[in-house]
């Protein structure tokens, strides 16, 4: 089985009539994802790539029984979009939008407490269960069904890892892009736990980067709980302290948030850490 998404996931697209929402709706529909509705206030009754548009998430959920929402709205509207999903009882919220203010995500986290809802992102590429369902902006054609679970803070590096795995005829069970912001809804430990419980996942790739403490916390979890082969890569080895590198969360703020420190922490937890993503397929060919 796959994690987070499967072939039965029913997806609504918030911001479906916008440029990005429309483009990626088409890609998701063509991949085979069950996109059952879209939401743009004031544009209910329209269709986008054969997908009906509703004025609100509540209306869309009532009409479609959707359990997944993907958000492409501008950053200043992202908080309202997430809260609308929570109010409507959407079980999985994937926020692609980047530039969401940190304070908005603090507010979202306080509202989520005690609720059985998962958020992936913001500022993430989404989630894909190859051959079953993709929700987000990742290129579906580079993915291949198989035994390797991929979890990453970087969208672009996710694609590079997946491309190299597929090129070497090694498929993926699920690929999860966590997002690069300081406050995100799903973290490494959450996904590692799901991969450990998933019989289809035989090995794991974890892609981290400078800044924050997620990789350090994941290393502690890996040392205690992860028994499947796991390979890691940390981006940002040449990044100078105090300078943001791409993602809002990718900034070295302490000694153990450097790439080299994170590499050593992961190695000490039993992770085989590579210098470049191209080295990953050869490792799994010897382990699977």
How many angstroms separate the Cα of 143 from the Cα of each of 47, 171, 180, 279?
29, 7, 22, 18
Would you please indicate which residues are annotated as catalytic (active-site) residues? Answer: 247
Does residue 54 contact residue 37 with C-beta atoms inside 8 Å? Answer: yes
DSSP H helical segments within the chain, as ranges? 19-31, 57-64, 75-88, 102-112, 155-167, 188-197, 214-225, 259-268, 280-287
Q: CA-CA-CA-CA torsion for 186, 146, 218, 7, nearest 10 degrees? A: 20
Q: Which two tokens stand for residue 107?
A: 């507010």
Alpha-carbon distances of 133 from 125, 165, 175, rounded to whole Å? 14, 19, 11
Which helix (H) or strand (E) element contains residue 176? strand 172-177
Cα-only R_g, the chain:
18
């Amino acid at each position: 089985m796959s994690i987070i998404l499967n072939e039965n996931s029913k997806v609504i697209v918030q911001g479906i009539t916008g440029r990005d929402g429309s483009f990626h709706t088409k890609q998701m529909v063509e991949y085979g994802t069950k996109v059952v509705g879209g939401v743009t206030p004031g544009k209910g009754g329209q269709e986008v790539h054969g997908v009906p548009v509703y004025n609100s998430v509540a209306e869309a959920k009532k009409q479609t029984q959707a359990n997944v929402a993907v958000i492409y709205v501008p950053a200043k509207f992202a908080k309202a979009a997430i809260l609308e999903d929570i109010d409507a009882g959407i079980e999985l919220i994937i926020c692609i939008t980047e530039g969401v203010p940190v304070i908005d995500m603090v507010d979202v986290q306080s509202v989520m407490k005690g609720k059985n809802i998962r958020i992936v992102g913001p500022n993430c590429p989404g989630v894909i269960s190859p051959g079953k369902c993709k929700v987000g902006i990742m290129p579906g054609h580079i993915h291949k069904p198989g035994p390797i679970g991929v979890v990453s803070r970087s969208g672009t590096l996710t694609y590079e890892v997946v491309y190299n795995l597929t090129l070497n005829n090694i498929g993926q069970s699920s690929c999860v892009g966590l997002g690069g912001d300081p406050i995100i809804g799903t973290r490494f430990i959450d996904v590692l736990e799901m991969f450990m419980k998933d019989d289809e996942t035989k090995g794991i790739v974890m892609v981290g980067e400078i800044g924050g403490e997620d990789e350090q916390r994941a290393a502690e979890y890996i040392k205690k709980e992860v028994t499947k082969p796991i390979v890691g890569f940390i981006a940002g080895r040449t990044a100078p302290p105090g300078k943001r590198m791409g993602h809002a969360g990718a900034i070295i703020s302490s000694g153990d948030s450097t790439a080299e420190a994170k590499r050593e922490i992961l190695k000490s937890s039993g992770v085989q850490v590579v210098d470049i993503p191209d080295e990953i397929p050869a490792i799994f060919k010897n382990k699977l």
